């Protein structure tokens, strides 16, 4: 008999006093199963990770095949490893042509760190412009460009020379000057409650950065890999950034991050100083094999093409007087309710009734949905019915 529950609470570091605390037995497709016999429909995909559902056979096979060949052999960047090259090949099919160099790291946060370092190194400038309400990760650098003061204050001092601007505020763009190394923005702000920039704002942001020689970093860690109905969300705005960060769904369920750019920019990290960013496990062969297999499935099954219809279906089903707005770009969805208290109750009640949704860190009147891109119509309807029943229960 496993005592993993006891060890979880006694020995494993906790991130909150309110962990969900279910013990997982296995997961398959859009469902997570617990050791006490529950089947939980997954409407968040591990927060934007398991876009092909759980246990996709092509990903499992790629992992097993790679484990049979080799696991870690050497720090990133020294040996030629086939699984890294396969992932590179898949990315080169879907990224803009000019973004032709990919640096594989271990997490989204590390991709942010690499991107910020690259921008400073390539421009020789120090100022960074970030956005109010942003979330880019939890290490010192990534936290510094976030916009949640409550999460930052206990860890001061953070990085200096960071200024913040407001999404969709055109006059703020004047703050981007020849002193600015980079502007960093989540293409669709996730933790802020799925905030979608205006088309013209994104065009103006790109133009301003180009005018003053500032590098535009778009964080696609949550919005990327098909989630919004395009491979990367910036495709909705007809712009190309200078540096892209990816993570989450890129790994097909394995831990990965990637920052990508033009080769002549990326080369700056390999010279003066040499080894400008290094990582032992970045580009891990098993992770890259899973990621390459996942991208192949996404491409061959044309899954991105079905995203908008599924998202529209969810929005059409989630209608109730207590729902103030369903804000979404593809299957990156925020549901605003009429009170913070109701959000707490609804998320709890959904879980009790077999549906996993989740809160935002900094948007208390909303909860998030990000189901697998290949979720069935039946599961989609079932999940929405559980949400409506939970709302209805709290409304009485």
Ligand X SMILES: Cc1ncc(COP(=O)(O)O)c(C=O)c1O
Among 216, 221, 297, 369, the residue binding ligand X under the rule CB under 6 A is 221
- 393 vs 346: CA distance, rounded Å: 9
Q: Is 135 in the site for ligand X (CB under 6 A)?
A: yes
**What would the x/- binding string for ligand X be over residues 108 to 127, using CB under 6 A?**
xx--x---------------
What's the half-sphere exposure (Cβ side, CA atoms, 13 Å) at 51?
37
**Residue 136 or 236 having the CB closest to ligand X:** 136
CA distances 351 to 29, 320, 348, 357, 373, Å, are 18, 19, 5, 7, 20
Q: Is 246 in the site for ligand X (CB under 6 A)?
A: no
**Residue 360 or 365 having the CB closest to ligand X:** 360
Return left, alpha or beta for 296; rule: phi > 0 is left, psi -120 to 50 is alpha, else beta: alpha
Among 137, 226, 253, 282, the residue binding ligand X under the rule CB under 6 A is 137
Among 107, 144, 180, 374, the residue binding ligand X under the rule CB under 6 A is 107
Among 29, 241, 247, 252, the residue binding ligand X under the rule CB under 6 A is 247
Residue range at the interface with ligand X (CB under 6 A); choices 102-110, 163-171, 279-287, 314-322: 102-110
**Residue 118 or 221 having the CB closest to ligand X:** 221
- 307 vs 233: CA distance, rounded Å: 13
Reported for 16-21, long-range contacts at CB under 8 A and 24+ positions apart, including other chains, are 20/351
- 256 vs 173: CA distance, rounded Å: 32
Among 42, 90, 113, 219, the residue binding ligand X under the rule CB under 6 A is 219
**What would the x/- binding string for ligand X be over residues 310 to 349, using CB under 6 A?**
----------------------------------------
Concatenated DSSP letters of 148-176: -HHHHGGG-S--SSEEEE-TT-GGGGGG-
Strand arrangement, sheet containing 332-337: 323-329, 332-337, 366-369, 358-359
Chain position whose Cβ is nearest to ligand X: 108
Report 24-53 residues binding ligand X (CB under 6 A): 47
Report 150-189 residues binding ligand X (CB under 6 A): 186
Q: Is 136 in the site for ligand X (CB under 6 A)?
A: yes
- 75 vs 361: CA distance, rounded Å: 34
**Of 374, 342, 370, 345, the residue nearest 357 (C-alpha):** 370
Give min distance, CB of 299 to ligand X, in A. Answer: 23
CB 232 within 8 A of CB 245: no
- 61 vs 71: CA distance, rounded Å: 15
**Residue 142 or 323 having the CB closest to ligand X:** 142
Residues forming the site for ligand X (CB under 6 A): 47, 107-109, 112, 135-137, 186, 190, 219, 221-222, 247
């Amino acid at each position: 008999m496993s005592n993993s529950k006891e060890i979880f609470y006694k020995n494993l570091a906790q991130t909150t006093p309110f962990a969900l605390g279910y013990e997982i037995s296995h997961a398959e497709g859009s469902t997570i199963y617990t050791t006490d016999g529950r089947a939980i429909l997954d409407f968040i995909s591990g927060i934007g990770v398991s876009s092909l559902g759980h246990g996709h056979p092509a990903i499992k096979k790629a992992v097993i095949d790679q484990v049979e060949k080799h696991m870690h052999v050497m720090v990133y960047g020294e040996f030629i490893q086939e699984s890294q090259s396969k992932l590179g090949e898949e990315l080169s099919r879907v990224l803009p042509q000019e973004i032709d160099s990919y640096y594989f790291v271990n997490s989204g946060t590390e991709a942010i760190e690499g991107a910020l370092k690259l921008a400073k190194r390539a421009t020789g400038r120090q100022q960074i412009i970030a956005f109010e309400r942003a979330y880019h990760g939890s290490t010192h650098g990534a936290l510094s460009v976030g916009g949640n003061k409550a999460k930052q204050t206990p860890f001061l001092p953070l990085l200096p020379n960071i200024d913040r601007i407001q999404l969709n505020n055109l006059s703020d763009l004047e703050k981007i000057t020849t002193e600015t190394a980079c502007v960093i923005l989540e293409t669709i702000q996730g933790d802020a409650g799925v905030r979608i920039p205006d088309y013209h704002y994104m065009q103006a942001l790109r133009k301003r950065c180009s005018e003053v020689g500032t590098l535009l970093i778009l964080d696609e860690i949550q919005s990327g890999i098909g989630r919004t109905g395009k491979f990367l969300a910036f495709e909705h705005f007809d712009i190309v950034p200078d540096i892209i960060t990816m993570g989450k769904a890129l790994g097909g369920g394995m831990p990965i991050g990637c920052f990508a750019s033009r080769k002549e920019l990326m080369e700056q990290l390999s010279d003066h100083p040499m080894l400008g960013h290094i990582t032992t496990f970045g580009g891990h062969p098993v992770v890259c094999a899973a990621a390459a297999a996942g991208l192949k499935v996404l491409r061959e099954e044309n899954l991105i093409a079905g995203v908008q219809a599924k998202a529209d279906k969810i929005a059409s089903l989630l209608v109730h007087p207590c729902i103030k707005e369903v804000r979404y770009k593809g299957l990156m969805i925020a549901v605003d309710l009429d009170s913070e208290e109701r959000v707490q109750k609804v998320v709890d009640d959904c879980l009790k009734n077999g549906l996993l949704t989740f809160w935002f860190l900094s948007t208390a009147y909303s909860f998030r949905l990000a189901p697998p891109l290949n979720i069935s119509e039946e599961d989609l309807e079932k999940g929405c019915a559980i949400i409506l029943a939970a709302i209805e229960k709290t409304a009485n």
